[in-house]
Chain A
Amino acid sequence: MTLQHYLILAALLFCVGLMGAFTRRNAIVVLFSVEIMLSAANLNFIAFWRYSENPGLLHGPLFTLFAIAVAAAEVAVGLALVIAVYRHFKTVDLESMDTLREE
């Protein structure tokens, strides 16, 4: 398989995630979609690393490792925030959170 196949696949997955983030109302689904986007970017890194001239540098796996760790931390904090918001607003519907200050 050539590099182009992996790049097109990663672009497609990224746009599926983007579509999810733009389209859904539920905050947790938006978090999933962000994870899908991050994973698609990781796929891109590894594909570029694999087809590079000097794969001994291991720049692909290293960057992906850091990206996975940061994404996991972000999901943890994001979900904690969603739970805190749910406790206050009693919903996680993004459409109904449109006030900066409650009356």
Chain B
Amino acid sequence: MSEEIAFWILATIAVLGALVAVRKRNLIHGVFALLVFFAGLSGLFLLLLAEFIAAVQVLVYIGAVGVLLLFAIMLTERVAGDDGRRMVSRGWFWGLVMAAAVFVVLLLPAIQQWPSPETAQPIKPSVEELGHKLMNPYVVTLEVLALLLTAALIGAVTAAQGVRMPKEEDSPE
């Protein structure tokens, strides 16, 4: 019973956050709505008993990606968004239609009666199991991921620094 209430509250928070994030003209408000969306999603992960993933979602998305987006907004244009330009692109109507069509297509398998159990099996959430799995079958994936993150770090710093000017400019971290 309390699980249902939690699900509806978290689902509403997530959907409202996502809607506000893509519709706001003021980008900083949009980013904070996006962070509310991530927090709602993290709550949903907790409800599904994937607590490590919930913590990683808060740590990575809200703590790092959110701050990165805020810095990028600060560094690019006027953030308040009140410069009189159109907010939506020229083909917005057909974009909306396409999104609705995709929603309908995604919904068709979702509402069918899968041969899946009505209630989930009880699991004991444990981080140790995850650690064992990461080391034993999936260690290559872990190493490749580390390589990818290093490449992304170097690439991001290089791309954001731009052409080396005679006077040194600070790069965002």
Contacts and interface: CB of A to CB of B under 8 A. Distances in A.
A22 B99 CA distance: 8
A13 B49 CA distance: 20
Contacts of A14: 102-103, 106
Contacts of A25: 85-89
B169 to A, nearest CB: 10
B141 A83 contact: no
A84 B110 contact: no
B9 interface: no
A5 B88 CA distance: 31
Given A5-B7, A19-B96, A79 B156 contact: yes
B142 to A, nearest CB: 8
Interface of B: 3-4, 7, 11, 14-15, 18-19, 21-23, 27, 30-31, 34, 37-38, 41, 44-45, 48-50, 52-53, 56-57, 60-61, 64-65, 68-69, 72-73, 75-77, 85-92, 95-96, 98-100, 102-103, 106-107, 109-111, 114, 116-121, 123, 129-130, 133-134, 138, 141, 145, 148-149, 151-153, 155-160, 162, 172
Interface of A: 1-9, 11-20, 22-26, 28-29, 31-33, 35-36, 39, 42-43, 46-47, 49-53, 55-56, 58, 60-62, 64-66, 68-77, 79-84, 86-87, 91-95
